[in-house]
Amino acid sequence: MSVLNNELLKYVEDNPFNKHIGFELINDQEDEILLKLWLKEELLNTNKTVHGGVHASMLDTVNSIVLQTIYQTPVAAMNLDVHYFSPANSGHLLAKANILQQGYKLATIEAEIVDEYQQLIAKGTGIYRIIRKA
């Protein structure tokens, strides 16, 4: 059974920022949520590699989607530490997240971005507030 329901797919696909950047939500063989990004010239910096802000956005987006899937409520990043390992400039990137700590009000999660050859591009750890309706 897919962890991606129609409501979540619609939420991600209808987001103007996600559309602008080009994020695509997919499931892998283990039914894990992955965020895919085909690289295009508009996402490159002056060095002709993916801009660091794109990496940060990708990490934050996959973290948020995974947490929203688990908690079934909105979340907000309170902190995101990003570490850059390798440049990328063509093909596609994949991001996946792993929850490190789940609490009632906060969650800690890490995500990594790899290229199509499974080379580690960037990694990020974030603390997210769970937005609970009163």
**Domain containing residue 51:** 6-130
14 falls within a domain: yes
CB–CB of 35/62 below 8 Å? yes
Angle, alpha carbons 65-69-71 (nearest 5°): 115
Q: Is 68 helix (H, G, I), strand (E, B) or coil?
A: helix
For residue 18, pLDDT over 70 is answered with yes
30 falls within a domain: yes
Query: In CATH, what number is assigned to the domain containing residue 69?
Result: 3.10.129.10
76 falls within a domain: yes
The string of pLDDT tens digits covering residues 30-84 is: 668 899 999 999 999 999 999 999 999 999 999 999 999 899 999 999 999 999 9
Domain count, the chain: 1
Q: Which residues pair with 77 in a beta bridge?
A: 128
**Which pLDDT does position 1 carry in this prediction?**
35
56 falls within a domain: yes
1 falls within a domain: no
